[in-house]
Structure 1
Amino acid sequence: MITDIHCHLEAVEPENIATFIGAGNKIGAVSMTLESAQQLLILKRQYPDAIELFLGVHPEATTDETMIKAVIALIHQHRCLLSGIGEIGVPFFYLDDKTAAEKQQLKRQGAQLMARFVAIAADYNLPVNLHVVEDDIELALPILQQYGVEGALFHWYEGTAIQLARLHQQGHFISVSPWIFVDDHYWQFVQTIPLSMMLVESDAPCQYNGKKGDPSMIVDVVVALAKHHQISVDDLTAVLALNTRKYLRK
């Protein structure tokens, strides 16, 4: 069994969901907006044992206070169905055209929103699934420490050796995506991630070399990682399963 720990499942073709889950695998489904959260709740009821459900508001989604409060209400209402809180974090990619001062302000605002969801995760003793890029760990880590949230997942994270060491020392996890087959710089970074903090993800429907992402892609990711670390696919699958259980607090 392999768990795709970060997937926008409502955007995956139903037959592909059925095939992946039918092979005995699981999917960590993260919401971006109120609409996606509602769609994921339907899928969770369809596959109650195979979907690890995370609800949150993506830091780069177009949103407002009404939507944020509605998603928070869903979290409280459906606590028994949740595996964690996410996708939450700090905005990064849509800030390219902003000035340095604007970026700083928007990141601070994003961090404040992240803190609201982290506080909920702390209250319910749930893990968090984070969108935090490069230097933005400087904003995210103090929030996790403030609320005592340990073992966070930094999805598709890439940074410096020093940043990786900090995340490792603090007991956090990093999930590896099929981007290893697209970007050699990312693949080089992934090779330095300690196996003890590694999970895998598709981030579907994110595209890879023009191909729509799908949970099945993580099978090839596991094969590539096993080859690099010179261990069997079965052994690496066992390591990833253990890491996933630790992350999900099971």
Structure 2
Amino acid sequence: MKIIDAHIHLDRYEDKEIESMLKKADWLEALVSVSFDLHSCKRNLRLNKTYSKVKPAFGFHPEQSLPNERELTKLMEWMTQHKEEMIAVGEVGLPYYLRKDGKVSAPEYGQYLELLETFLVLAKKWEKPIVLHAVYDDAPIVCDLLEKHNITKAHFHWFKGGQKTVKRMISNGYYISVTPEILYKEKIQQLAKSYPLEQIMVETDGPWPFDGPFTGQKTHPNMIKYSISTLAKIKKQSEKEVSEQIYKNTRVFYRL
């Protein structure tokens, strides 16, 4: 079973953890390591230079304060300089959880939308896939922007949202990825059941921790094996068939 972790924050692990993770896992083909900010982008690029399995994506995670003009300029200049070395634009999107907690005002939300659109324009211009943090009420807004810019290479990681949006995403050819949460969350299981296997990838979103059978464990790509096993039961197919399809999906989407 060859596995690709389609979404991980590898830069947030310690060096020794990364070394152990990558040197003792022949089954681990690649990791798409998404970035949080410029500092994160730079570390992911360094990891790529050290480990060929690390495929970096560059962007600005939306669940944080907006960058000031100087910070944004530096990020955009750096991304432009290193666009050939990144596999995708990401992680980018909208601040659902900050807004839910009352930490983002309406005018600020407009600025997050403008920032996301800037990243979408770059992804289109550079012909790169885009990795999205867009859940619940934010997802249809992001779909509007993707349609506006005629972007089809969109990956909604750890997606959560309504059935109307799910149908729209399927129709538009957007991909989703499921985390180890699929083992114990019924809503994620129902999403996986309704979504075409040909548009699904698997991820850890590590080092984000998980509950259920993973309570107290450090998030590791080997958890994906259990996700694939659960997905196979949901799809009523063999683990081999599901594993091969997921592997193919990820390779094609990210041009690996």
TM-score by length of 1: 0.91
Range with bigger deviation, 206-215 or 31-40? 206-215
- In the TM superposition, structure 1's runs of 4+ consecutive aligned residues that sit over 4 Å from their partners are none
- The answer (yes or no) to whether the contact 2:192–2:234 under 8 Å persists in 1 is no
Range with bigger deviation, 234-243 or 171-180? 234-243
Q: Which residue of 2 aligns with 1:23?
A: 27
Separation (CA, whole Å) in 2 of partners of 1:205 and 1:148: 33
Q: Which residue of 2 aligns with 1:47?
A: 51
C-alpha change, 1:246 and 1:220, in structure 2 (3 Å) is same
Q: For the aligned residues, what is the CA RMSD?
A: 1.9
C-alpha change, 1:186 and 1:78, in structure 2 (3 Å) is same
Residue 57 of structure 2: SS of its match in structure 1? Answer: strand
Residue 64 of structure 2: SS of its match in structure 1? Answer: coil
Separation (CA, whole Å) in 2 of partners of 1:105 and 1:96: 15
Aligned with residue 212 of structure 1, among 212, 218, 222: 218
Q: CA deviation at 1:20?
A: 6.2
Residue 115 of structure 1: SS of its match in structure 2? Answer: helix
Mapping for residues 73-222 of structure 1, pairs under 5 Å: 73-98=77-102, 103-209=105-211, 210-222=216-228
- The answer (yes or no) to whether the contact 1:20–1:215 under 8 Å persists in 2 is no
Q: Which residue of 1 aligns with 2:11?
A: 10
Aligned with residue 242 of structure 2, among 223, 236, 245: 236
Separation (CA, whole Å) in 2 of partners of 1:110 and 1:247: 26
Q: Which residue of 2 aligns with 1:59?
A: 62
Q: CA deviation at 1:51?
A: 2.0
- Kindly, what percent of the aligned residue pairs are identical? 28
> What 5-or-longer segments of structure 1 have no aligned partner?
none
- The answer (yes or no) to whether the contact 1:27–1:51 under 8 Å persists in 2 is yes
Deviations 1:176-202 (A, max 9, x none): 011123433322322222112101110
Deviations 1:136-187 (A, max 9, x none): 1222122212222212000011222221110000010000011123433322
- The answer (yes or no) to whether the contact 1:55–1:71 under 8 Å persists in 2 is no
> What 5-or-longer segments of structure 2 have no aligned partner?
none
C-alpha change, 1:239 and 1:203, in structure 2 (3 Å) is same
Aligned residues: 247
